[in-house]
Each structure stands twice: as structure tokens, then as C-alpha cells.
């Protein structure tokens, strides 16, 4: 029987890789994790956490304005971008220290450097080789940019989190959740924001009412959305950058950010040479048990291109280690996963969109638009939208969607209900908490007429 240095070596110390490896170590396996950058991965170092800290910082601009309606007379407020970035970085350093401690406490060896598979059981790092019975690939994803003239001048979300100073104007190319989140951050901080999308609306794949509602709110706040538009080229100018669009228009700006997607970060690490099958987009092809085409090589997280959410990667990492190192097989369930977009206003969503639900059979749709109570005294012109989609034959709630204050916090609880198979009757029988926005989910009684629902789909 072959003898290896480790029971498990993991490539990548992001959320999924750390969860899997520290659990395996805690269960007695001899484990190591390889990371060429900072421990914590995309979410902690380059994504969810720092981005939400910037969202918090940006939202104070609205909060100061709203305070007047509640009797406050704020003094002159000034904003220091460099202070926000410095404080954000201090918090990231604290979190990275927590991750290091978690690994140490579970006996996991951290190997710093870039790992490359030499064969199915061997990884090379900085001229040294390490062998393992099982290898887990958790290398995450990386922002992609198109091959157009001048693309070398653009930044991605990675750089946007550490800009040395705020620009006066920014063009954000892309209509996904990263693009709308940064559009909200920069807009709230006083930057002139133009968002360029090649489609007719933002947030492809989200419910249509969600897309329409957020787009309207962004435009009310001053974000310019250029629809059905592409960028042909980018040129550096003395004062910034010049973008030539597909329709011949030219836009001048101080900074260009691309948020047009992320790709699995799998190239150049020896996967194909070791026999691991990759999809056309570079994602590792895995079976229901997260196993690749090579029996001892597994993968979790964004590099397998299933559901690109941090909690999903963590759940996959847990399932892997419980199954292989604790004798406790855990099946993976990708249905009814709640998610959020930390736009301004934010989005919370779980279950099927109206379009997807309608493909399965007849449905009833309940929808509500209202001004949040917080803004009744401040007069802010921002609306909340809430929507419930119900299977007409079974009364089961298939999807819930919200745009507005506290949407992510509210939708987490709604996600539990959908996971339990709740019906609309059970929603209706639940007593609401008054006065809250959340109670609207248990007080909506009037169905949207079918002709309106069909038109919306």
C-alpha cells in the first residue's frame, strides 16, 4: 500500500478549502493546505467582506440626510476614502489571523506558495514536492476581462477595493451583482457613475421584477445605465480614459472598471496533465460526490462552477470532509439557496424566478411596492418591492424576492420556510411583526392578474 506525506492536501485556502481541511484535521487526518496569496480567499480578502464594509461606509451618506427628518441637525460631514480603506484593511488582517489560528488549532500545515500537480498524488510548491492520498482543489475564481484594445487600462473588483483615491467619474462595464454593488458604492460616495451593459437590463438571471425595481432605483439615485451597449476600445488620455462604444459614442471618464464575470482559476496548475477533466470554461467536472475524473482528486467552490456563493463552498467543503474523514456522508442540496446582492437598495432572493416557475406549471404571483417606514419622515424617494411566487396546484411557495432595506436579513428566514416546503396558506397563517417590512411577506393576499404576470414574464 502506498505511503503518502499527508492524508489530504488542499489547493487553495479560501472559504471552501479552509472548511474542508480544518474539519479533516479535526477528525484526525494529517492535512496541509497550499496558498500563494492570503488565507481567506476571495470572500474574505477580495470579495464579500471588504465589499460589504464599503457598502456600510457608503450608506452613511443617505443616513446623514435622513437624520434631518427625525429632528437631527448634523454638522458638516466629510468623507475620507483613505481612512475607510485603512480601517477595512485592518479588519481583513484580523480575519486572516483568525483563519491562521483555526488552521493551527486543527493541526493543518499551511504551505505558502503556488502549487502545481506533478501527478495525481503529488504537488510541487517552490521546488519541493508533497504527496497526499487525497487532493482537494479549492482554487476559486478570478475576474475576467474581454480582449479589446486598451483593456490593460481597466481595473476589476480586486483593485476597486484598494483604490488610492476616489475618482470623480467612473464607468463600470457589466450588469451582474458585482457591477451593481460597486455602482451603488461609488454613487453614494459622490462619484459620477455610468454603467454599461450589453443586455437590455441589469442582473441577468434574477427575477424580472427585481431587475426592473433595482434599475429604477439606481437611476433615481443618479446612476446612468447605458443599455444594449458594448465597449469597442479604451484609450488613455491626459485627463483619464476615452471609451468608444459600439454605437459610435465616446465617453470620457477618470476610471474604467470591468465586472463582466469570473472564471475558474484552474489554468496552469497541472490539472489536465494529471488527467482531471475540465469544462470549456475551465471548471473542474465533478460528480455528485465532488469527485473529479481522477479518483483521488476532488474539488469544491467556484472552480467547479455550480453555485458561486461562499456558503455553498463552505457546505461543499463540509460535505467532503464529513464523508471522507468522519464516516458521515452528507448529500449536497442546491435547491432553494438564499442569496443577496448588496446593492443600494439591497436584494434578497430565494427559490424560483417567475419565469422559471411558470415553466413548471400554473402559478399565482403576489407583489407589493411600498415606501419603507424609515423614509416616511425623511422623504427619501426609495421604494421596496416584495414578491411571492406560488404553485397554484399545491399552494407551495416556489420563490420569494425582495428589493429594499434589510432584504438580505429578511430573506434568510424566508429561506428556511422554503426549505421546509411552506405553503402560501402557512405564510398567511403566520402572524406578522408590526411595524416591519418583513410582515408584508405574511400579509400579501391579492394575486396579480394573470395577464399582468404573463406580461412580466
What are the catalytic residues?
A: 434
Neighbours of 216 (CB within 10 A): 14
Contact yes or no for 34/111 (Cβ under 8 A): yes
Q: b/e for 10-27, b at 16 or more Cβ within 10 A?
A: bbbbbbbbbbbbbbbbbb
Neighbours of 45 (CB within 10 A): 21
Q: By three-state DSSP, how is residue 262 classified?
A: strand
Contact yes or no for 380/327 (Cβ under 8 A): no
Distance of CA 222 to the CA centre of its chain: 24
DSSP string, 283-340: PBP--TTSB-SSTTEEE-GGGG-S---HHHHHHHHHHHHHHHHSS-------TT--EE
User: Residues near 243 by Cβ (< 8 Å), separated by ≥ 6?
Assistant: 171, 196, 231, 233, 234, 250, 251, 252, 253, 256
DSSP string, 362-414: -EEEEEEEE--TTHHHH-----EEEEEEEETTT-BEEEEEEESTTHHHHHHHH
Element (H, E) at 184: helix 177-188
Contact yes or no for 278/267 (Cβ under 8 A): no
Q: How far is CA 284 from CA 141, 212, 304, in A?
A: 11, 34, 5
Of 422, 433, 434, 429, residue with least CA distance to 445: 429
- Determine the Cα–Cα distance for residues 27 and 15; give it in Å rounded to an integer: 18
| The C-alpha cell that represents 290 in the structure block | 465532488
DSSP string, 408-428: HHHHHHHHHHHHTT-BHHHHH
Sign for the CA dihedral angle at 155, 157, 161, 165 comes to positive
Distance of CA 390 to the CA centre of its chain: 26
Neighbours of 125 (CB within 10 A): 19
Q: By three-state DSSP, how is residue 110 classified?
A: strand
Amino acid at each position: 500500500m502506498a505511503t503518502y506525506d499527508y492524508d489530504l492536501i488542499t489547493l487553495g485556502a479560501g472559504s471552501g478549502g479552509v472548511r474542508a481541511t480544518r474539519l479533516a484535521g479535526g477528525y484526525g487526518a494529517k492535512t496541509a493546505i497550499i496558498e500563494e496569496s492570503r488565507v481567506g480567499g476571495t470572500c474574505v480578502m477580495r470579495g464579500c467582506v471588504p465589499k460589504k464594509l464599503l457598502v456600510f461606509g457608503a450608506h452613511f451618506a443617505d443616513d446623514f440626510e435622513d437624520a434631518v427628518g427625525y429632528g437631527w441637525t448634523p454638522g458638516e460631514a466629510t468623507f475620507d476614502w483613505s481612512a475607510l480603506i485603512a480601517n477595512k484593511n485592518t479588519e481583513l488582517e484580523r480575519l486572516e489571523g483568525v483563519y491562521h489560528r483555526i488552521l493551527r488549532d486543527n493541526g493543518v500545515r499551511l504551505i505558502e506558495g503556488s502549487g502545481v500537480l506533478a501527478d495525481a498524488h503529488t504537488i510541487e510548491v517552490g521546488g519541493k514536492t508533497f504527496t497526499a492520498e487525497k487532493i482537494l482543489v479549492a482554487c476559486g475564481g478570478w475576474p475576467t476581462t474581454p480582449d479589446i484594445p486598451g483593456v490593460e487600462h481597466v481595473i476589476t473588483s480586486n483593485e476597486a477595493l484598494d483604490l488610492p483615491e476616489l475618482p470623480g467619474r467612473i464607468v463600470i462595464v457589466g450588469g451582474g451583482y458585482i457591477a451593481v454593488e460597486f455602482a451603488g458604492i461609488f454613487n453614494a460616495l459622490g462619484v459620477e457613475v455610468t454603467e454599461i451593459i450589453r443586455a437590455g437590463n441589469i442582473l441577468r438571471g434574477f427575477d424580472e421584477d427585481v431587475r426592473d425595481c433595482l434599475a429604477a432605483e439606481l437611476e433615481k439615485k443618479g446612476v446612468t445605465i447605458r443599455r444594449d451597449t458594448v465597449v469597442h476600445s479604451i484609450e488613455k488620455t491626459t485627463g483619464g480614459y476615452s471609451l468608444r462604444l459600439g454605437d459610435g459614442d465616446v465617453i470620457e471618464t477618470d476610471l474604467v472598471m470591468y465586472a463582466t464575470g469570473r472564471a475558474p482559476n484552474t489554468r496552469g496548475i497541472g490539472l489536465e496533465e494529471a488527467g482531471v477533466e475540465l469544462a470549456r470554461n475551465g471548471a473542474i467536472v465533478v460528480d455528485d460526490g465532488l469527485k473529479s475524473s481522477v479518483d483521488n482528486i476532488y474539488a469544491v467552490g467556484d472552480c467547479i462552477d455550480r453555485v458561486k456563493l461562499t456558503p455553498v463552498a463552505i457546505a461543499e467543503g463540509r460535505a467532503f470532509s464529513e464523508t471522507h474523514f468522519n464516516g458521515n456522508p452528507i448529500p449536497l442540496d442546491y435547491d432553494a439557496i438564499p442569496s443577496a446582492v448588496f446593492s443600494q437598495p439591497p436584494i434578497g432572493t430565494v427559490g424560483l424566478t417567475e419565469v422559471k416557475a411558470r415553466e413548471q406549471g400554473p402559478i399565482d404571483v403576489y407583489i407589493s411596492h411600498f415606501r419603507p417606514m424609515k423614509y416616511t419622515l425623511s422623504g427619501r424617494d426609495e421604494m421596496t418591492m416584495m414578491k411571492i411566487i406560488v404553485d397554484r396546484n399545491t399552494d407551495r411557495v416556489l420563490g420569494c424576492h425582495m428589493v429594499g432595506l434589510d432584504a438580505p436579513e429578511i430573506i434568510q428566514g424566508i429561506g428556511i420556510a422554503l426549505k421546509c416546503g411552506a405553503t402560501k396558506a402557512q405564510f398567511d397563517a403566520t402572524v406578522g411583526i408590526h411595524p416591519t417590512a418583513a410582515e408584508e411577506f405574511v400579509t400579501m393576499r391579492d394575486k396579480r392578474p394573470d395577464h399582468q404576470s404573463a406580461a412580466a414574464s
